[in-house]
Amino acid sequence: MVVGRPSMPVRTRVAALTSAALLLSSLTAIGAATAAEPTAGSAATAAGDAASGDAAEAWAAKVEDDVQHTLAAGGTTDVMIAFEDRADLAAAARVDDWDERGEAVVTALMETAEESQRATRAELDAAGADYEAYWIANAILVRDATEEIARRVAAQPGVDQVLEVAQYEVPELLPAEDAPAVQAAAPEWGVAAVHADRVWTDVDVRGEGLVIANIDTGVQFDHPALAASYRGMNADGTVTHDYHWYDPAHICPSSAPCDNQGHGTHTMGTMAGGDAGGTAIGVAPGARWIAAKGCEATAQVACSITSLVASGQWTLAPTDASGRNPRTDLRPHVVNNSWGADTLGFADPFYDQIVDAWNAAGVFAVFSSGNDGANGCTTVGSPADSPGAYAVGAHDPANLIAPFSSRGPGPNDRIRPDIAAPGVAVRSSVPGSAYGTANGTSMAAPHVTATVALMWSAAPSLIGDIDGTRELLGTTAVDTPNEECGGTEERNNAFGEGRLDAYAAVTASPIGATGLLSGVVTDDESGEPVPGVLLRASSDGYQRTTVTGPDGRYDMTLVAGAYELTATAYGYAPGGSAGVTVAEGATTTLDVGLTRLPSVTVSGTVTDRPGQGWPLYAGISIAGYPHGTVWTDPATGRYEVELPATTAYTLTVRPQAEGYATSSRVVEVGDDDLTADFAATVETTECLAPGYAPAHTGAFASFDDGLPAGWAVQTTRGNGWETGDTGGRGNLTGGDGGFASIDSASGQLLEDGVLASAPADLSAVAAPVLSFRTDLLLSRGVAEADVSVDGGATWQNVWRRTAHSRGPRQEQVPLPEAAGRDDVRVRFHYRNDIANNGWWQLDDVLLGARTCEPVEGGIVLGQVRDDRTGAALDGATVTSDDGSVTATTTATPADPELGGGFYSTFVPGSGDHELTAEHDLGQHGTQRRTVTVEPGAVTRADFELGTGELEVSSAVVEETVEVGGTRTATVTVTNVGTAPASFELAERNTSFEQQRDTLATLPGAPLRRAIVPDDGGPLDPAAAAAADAGA
């Protein structure tokens, strides 16, 4: 057996025994025996050593669950090994020269990867593994990894994770209606909407001297709109693909660029396309382009993380066609990434590193925010939610946010997206030397990417200035209010900073003779540098802003002239200086001292607005507050925060329970402590807040029993509106039971039909709405809702869609004109222009007012922890004997002080309830307690679950045994924990050592000789008998 840990008590946690003496008997070979260290949630084996124990821990902690399951079943799989070390790129990012800056960044990345990957690569080489190492993201791809390889790798120091090779969805060209008509040679609507054409004419800049890249499905390089701007196109008409095109998975049939899906050609056209198709499709037609095929776009593979990482690395240091001889001086200035994935359960540790490397090297990284807006807030995808990425949402020709455009907030309540750009009915190039129209944030992002090229082309001093470029894009964007997902009129989680204005961004850039303004901002009292200070230089309507770094230093490239400099920072009085002169080609140094403000305590309580009136667990975001979200106590709803005095703050309250509205209020803080209470309102759209039940006044149709009385169907073509599940898809609206639908895909027909309601008396309804559940699949056509307040004499359109609006989805439209009317009607009209394409499902239609009525009961909440370590236990269940309580504890990553293991549930009624907490994994015991529920109140019930912990008397048990003999050894295992524990004793076959000096003393077998024929055949029976006799 294998020698284990040193001879000292070994403690570990398992599930279940009190105390036992274990007998190891019938040892048949010389060796060391030990009771193996048990692991939580599993049986203990009486064998183990330090190496195997550490390897087991590394396997469990570092190897992704799906990888473990695949390999443990005997299979192989591709894995990505992520390493802990990160290169320090700060010094490289400060290098002024473009070529030297790129080289410095790549050198730092390569050196870090070489050092941290060395031992693991040696292991992989020894195992004969097929692998590829990356330096831009400190990672290694291992193809067809076995369990043995994964275990050995996981045990290596410096390895952070062993992950499944992820895939992103292929970014589809979302179907769209025809783009708005434009005159021949005129710019497409999106180009005109961002005023790029004014940059061409007024500033005489089209992106000359700049290089744009996309990581996408590829590009048709000889498309008439793109061929002239391809960097691989030589002056003599020949083409060179080295350093200009990269296909890491070798999808294209030759070394030339290809696009087997169409998406990449479309996005590149919006960036650098010309007017060969009759209209100007590109924002920066003077820029050159290169491309990497990060999306395989095949039936087997969408966009693999391996191709995306390889493409990200190539973008920073393009190579020749063989993948050798990288040249950082040929990296692009801007890279467009119109791809991504939703963040539900998704974690990508690699692209954050890539974006950081791009930024350090001065490459501006643009990402589409995603097309998941139909699912509401917090839907911005990854990597667009990365802190270093510049995320782009989509708006339509009417300057409305596109329904599909993903909304923020992002992680840590960051405003996302950063900006919005045209992304509906965008016409651009597609493979086959053709043109097509598409929807998507994929179409919006290229407008921003190309705008950066225009800015840097007009103002070369901006090249590589990532923060300065972001600031200019944001401050010149057109503010567009949107309250859907929080924020302000100036910055919100639908439009970000607003709608892109390329002309304003370019003309605000430092065009012409420039100089540098730099300095350090310090605390007046301590002299210490102050990071995060916002500095604004203003001169006759022109202004630039920047933020100090960790060392308090700032730098701004400005057009030569006189400026007023202001410095503002949280906790300090504003500072700065007037009459600052910046001279051409010179550096002006201006240090700024700031005076710290006194602080006061702002405190209060967040409660449910009556209704129930109970305290609420909520996060409070404070504009300008640098320390993150302030959280209320879950049981009392109280919060407390220190804020600088004599300042106004906007506090935004987001209750954590589902079904409450987010609210904001300006709080004026004076010289004294202040109380600011908040009352949260229940959202009536679906009535999901705990302790409330939906109710309504007016007319309601559920379609459970077919078409309600008074409703009518008018069919122009096709089968028209029907009730029941004619398409066999189930109810996709989010409702249950019956529904109404008009279904082109089911009948394979063109459909055009109207579903009209019965009259509704709303004479007693003060604030009526039209509310309905919906699932709409529509490529070309229209779905709309009209309302009549005069019995059908006249109609007004109140809701209209011309593209997908997939369910489950609840729509609610205010109808102020219907208040007090006694004959209100609604009609739903659907028309599609492509047969066998799409449907519209409707359910739970309300004309009237939706309310949420309180239900008698209370809230029970608390945390479940380990009784010995105090660690939070996520995934534990809390249940009641009567079935009224069923809750599961969850992590609280946004509120680290709470620490997870948290549950909260509504309990109807009142009185005593017996609650039991337990953990599904079984390594913990259970705990029961009686909880008294009071109506309209919050009751806290915390649980601490015991665990078994075994102490082994000796880690090594060793005996010498003669062959044929027996020995007995005893090891004592004691449960010193607080819950029952059990384990299993097993034998491990690790061979044995036989003493040579015992061989002569052992009894020998009788000597026997036999005559064996040499013909290779069996012995002749007679010869065998003779041999036996001779023996």
What is the C-alpha to C-alpha distance for residues 363 and 332, in angstroms, rounded to an integer?
A: 7
Query: What's the rounded Cα separation, in Å, for the pair 471 and 728?
Result: 52
Q: Which two tokens stand for residue 841?
A: 């499902």
- Three-class SS state of 742: strand
Is residue 750 within 8 A of residue 718, CB to CB? The reply is yes
Name the catalytic one among 263, 266, 447, 804: 263
**Nearest-CA neighbor of 387 among 360, 361, 355, 358?**
355
Look at the block and give the residue holding tokens 């019930």: 941
As given in the structure block, the two tokens for residue 384 are: 């667009």
- Judged by DSSP in three states, 123 sits in helix
Please say if 216 is a catalytic residue: yes
* Residue 712 token pair: 């009518």
Place of tokens 């944030």: 441
Distance of CA 591 to the CA centre of its chain: 40
Residue 865's nearest CA partner among 919, 904, 916 is 919
Q: Does the domain at residues 857-947 carry the CATH identifier 2.60.300.12?
A: no
The residue type found at 566 is T
Euclidean distance between CA atoms 702 and 411, whole angstroms: 38
Q: CA nearest 463: which of 332, 352, 273?
A: 332
The C-alpha atoms of residue 770 and residue 850 are separated, in whole angstroms, by 10
Residue 412 per-residue DSSP state: G
Q: Name the 3-class secondary structure at 446.
A: helix
Residue 557's nearest CA partner among 625, 465, 629, 494 is 465
Strand stretches in 333-416, DSSP E: 334-337, 364-368, 390-395
Question: Rg for the chain (alpha carbons), in Å?
Answer: 35
**231 in Cβ contact with 277 (< 8 Å):** no
Tell me how crowded residue 483 is: count the other CB atoms within 10 A of its CB.
13
CATH number of 599-680: 2.60.40.10
Measured CA to CA, the distance from residue 696 to residue 764 in angstroms comes to 12
Which residues neighbour 936 within 8 Å (Cβ) at sequence distance 6 or greater? 612, 613, 614, 854, 858
Residue 266: phi, psi to the nearest 5? -65, -45
Calpha distance 995→981 (Å, rounded):
40
Q: Which of 289, 336, 283 is nearest to 454 (CA)?
A: 283
Please state, in angstroms and as integers, the Cα–Cα distance from residue 519 to each residue in 527, 565, 907, following that order.
Answer: 14, 12, 60
Helix (H) or strand (E) holding 744: helix 744-747
Candidate list 311, 368, 428, 442, residue with the active-site label = 442
Tokens of 81: 């090994």
Rounded distance, CA 906 to CA 856, Å? 10
| Max CA separation in the chain (angstroms) | 123
Q: Per the CATH hierarchy, to which homologous superfamily does domain 512-594 belong?
A: Carboxypeptidase-like, regulatory domain (2.60.40.1120)
Weakly modelled stretches of the chain, pLDDT under 70: 1-59, 169-185, 342-349, 747, 779, 835-836, 921-922, 955, 986-1031
Burial grade of 606 (CB within 10 A; 0-12, 13-18, 19 or more): buried
Strand partners, 841: 741, 775
Q: Any idea how long the chain is?
A: 1031
Domain at 174-325+333-338+348-506: CATH code: 3.40.50.200
Q: Tell which phi-psi region holds residue 901, choosing left (phi > 0), alpha (psi between -120 and 50) or beta.
A: left
DSSP state of 867: T
CATH of 692-854, one of 3.30.420.40, 3.90.45.10, 2.60.120.200, 2.30.30.100: 2.60.120.200
Q: What are 21's two structure tokens?
A: 């003496």
What distance in Å separates the CA atoms of residue 550 and residue 548, rounded to the nearest whole number?
A: 7
406 as an active site residue: the answer is no
Query: What distances in angstroms separate CA 742 from CA 721, 735, 754, 755, 863, one per listed residue?
Result: 5, 17, 9, 9, 48
φ/ψ of 218, rounded to 5, equals 115, 180
Q: What share of the chain is helix, strand, coil (3-state, %, to 5)?
A: 15, 35, 50
β-bridge mates for residue 973, sequence order: 20, 952
493, exposed or middle or buried, with CB in 10 Å at 0-12, 13-18, 19+? buried
Phi/psi for 220 (5° steps) reads -75, 100
Q: How many CB atoms lie within 10 A of CB 794?
A: 10
Q: Say which CATH architecture domain 63-165 belongs to.
A: 2-Layer Sandwich (3.30)
Chain position carrying tokens 């036999």: 1010
Q: What is the 3-state secondary structure (H, E, C) of 418-444?
A: CEEEECCCEEEEECCCEEEEEECHHHH
Structure tokens at 198: 């004014």
**512-594 has the same fold as 63-165:** no
Q: Which of 49, 16, 51, 18 is nearest to 33 (CA)?
A: 49
Residue pair 452/220 in contact by the 8 Å Cβ criterion: no
Number of Cβ atoms within 10 Å of the Cβ of 409: 21
The CA-based angle 942-946-947, given to 5 degrees, is 140
CB 289 within 8 A of CB 259: no
3-class SS of residue 364:
strand
Selected catalytic residue, list 49, 116, 216, 509:
216
**E strand or H helix at 788, and its extent?**
strand 781-788
| C-beta of residue 713 within 8 angstroms of C-beta of residue 721 | yes
In this structure, are residues 518 and 557 in contact, taking their beta carbons and an 8 Å threshold?
A: no
- Tell me if residue 222 is catalytic: no
CA 946 vs CA 867, 890, 915, 978: distances in Å: 5, 19, 16, 5
Name the residue ranges covered by the structural domains of the chain: 63-165, 174-325+333-338+348-506, 512-594, 599-680, 692-854, 857-947
Helix (H, G, I), strand (E, B) or coil at 733: coil
Quick check: 653 and 663 in contact, CB under 8 A? yes
Q: How far is CA 964 from the centre of its chain?
A: 64
CA distance 734 to 647: 45
